[in-house]
Amino acid sequence: MPECLDYLDSLAVDGDEPSRAALAETEITRLTSAWRVLLDLHAPDGQGRCPHCSAWRRPHRHPCTVWTTAHQHLISADGPPAHRTGRHGCVADRSTVVVLAAS
């Protein structure tokens, strides 16, 4: 699969005008369909969990890393986020600090 993606990248960058037009006509629809299926698999269930990433003993809250990565690369106006490291790195635009109000 990586070879196929590499080929599409090189065709989009180095291909002539007719090749890029043919690429747009065929591959964009295929890629958007694939992303829709992937995002549907990772859509939240009734309990707010990702059903595809969750296991009986290890439920994963939505959005999972697949959903977050897709959103950052496909929807976010800023493009892919800067590289974040560590298990508790900030995801998307959510703050890593929680402020509790006195009640």
Look at the chain and report how many structural domains it folds into.
1
Would you say residue 82 lies in a domain? Answer: no
Would you say residue 21 lies in a domain? Answer: yes
Which value, in Å, is the radius of gyration of the alpha carbons in the chain? Answer: 18
Would you say residue 42 lies in a domain? Answer: yes
For residue 3, what pLDDT band results from cuts at 50, 70 and 90? confident
Would you say residue 99 lies in a domain? Answer: no
Domain holding 46, by residue range, is 2-75
Say whether pLDDT at 24 is over 60: yes
Find the helix or strand (DSSP H, E) in which 23 lies: helix 17-41
Give, in degrees to the nearest 5, the angle at Cα 68 between 62 and 71. 125
pTM above threshold 0.75: no
pLDDT tens-digit readout, 6-18? 888 898 899 899 9
pLDDT tens-digit readout, 50-85? 888 887 777 778 888 888 888 888 877 665 555 555
Would you say residue 64 lies in a domain? Answer: yes
Would you say residue 10 lies in a domain? Answer: yes
Would you say residue 98 lies in a domain? Answer: no
Would you say residue 23 lies in a domain? Answer: yes
